[in-house]
Amino acid sequence: MSQKQTQHSVRIADTVKALIKDKISSLGYILWDVEYYKEGAYYNLTVTIDSPEGISLSDCEKVTKQIDPILDENDPVPDSYYLEVSSAGLERELKTDDHIRAYIGKEIKLGFFTALESGDKSISGILNGYRDEELSVTIDAGLNKSAETGCDKKELRILKRSCAYIRSVYNENEANAEIIERNDKQNDQQ
């Protein structure tokens, strides 16, 4: 994809975000991302949504029915395209600063454009902080135990621009704890 196409795609995605964000929010969902891209001969507009309760197929259908008229009326996409509304998923790409900040204290996976000094092209660890485009991540150092502290954990500082991707990592125990907490809150309200 050329630089011009990329800028064009981002501009369209940003316009669509602005048009549909309030409607999606009013339905009780979070607008996670909007992407506009060409795949083969076809253009795709992918709207990704989220919710603390998770996203079902009927949620995607509901959002599609609500945003389709907005897109038809405003016509922000000059090409014929396929509209797809989907869940952010259990393991999701963390693209924006807000996405990254939302995962502080949780496990993430990072992939790099070039290998680290250790030779790793990807790592997983706990995101400790994010500031000035720099991620602070604690990884299991494995065999590289620190002789000074006797600890098998190592904190890395990584620039966001060096990452090919940053993704959340699904943790079943954490997910179950969140479900239990949500259910407890609902029971307390009743």
List the domain boundaries for the chain. Answer: 3-87, 97-168
Superfamily of domain 97-168: Ribosome maturation factor RimP, C-terminal domain (2.30.30.180)
Of the candidates 123, 148, 149, 117, the one whose C-alpha atom is nearest the C-alpha of residue 136 is 123
Mean per-residue pLDDT for 159-171?
A: 93
Amino acid identity, position 99: H
Query: pLDDT by residue (tens digit) across 89-114?
Result: 989 999 999 999 999 999 999 999 99
What's the pLDDT at 189?
74
Distance CA 15, CA 5 (A): 15
Query: Which superfamily does 3-87 belong to?
Result: RimP-like superfamily, N-terminal (3.30.300.70)
- In CATH terms, are 3-87 and 97-168 the same topology? no
pLDDT for 174 beyond 90: no
Q: What is the pLDDT of residue 180?
A: 73
Q: Residue 9's closest CA among 61, 79, 59?
A: 79
What is the pLDDT of the chain when averaged over all its residues? 87
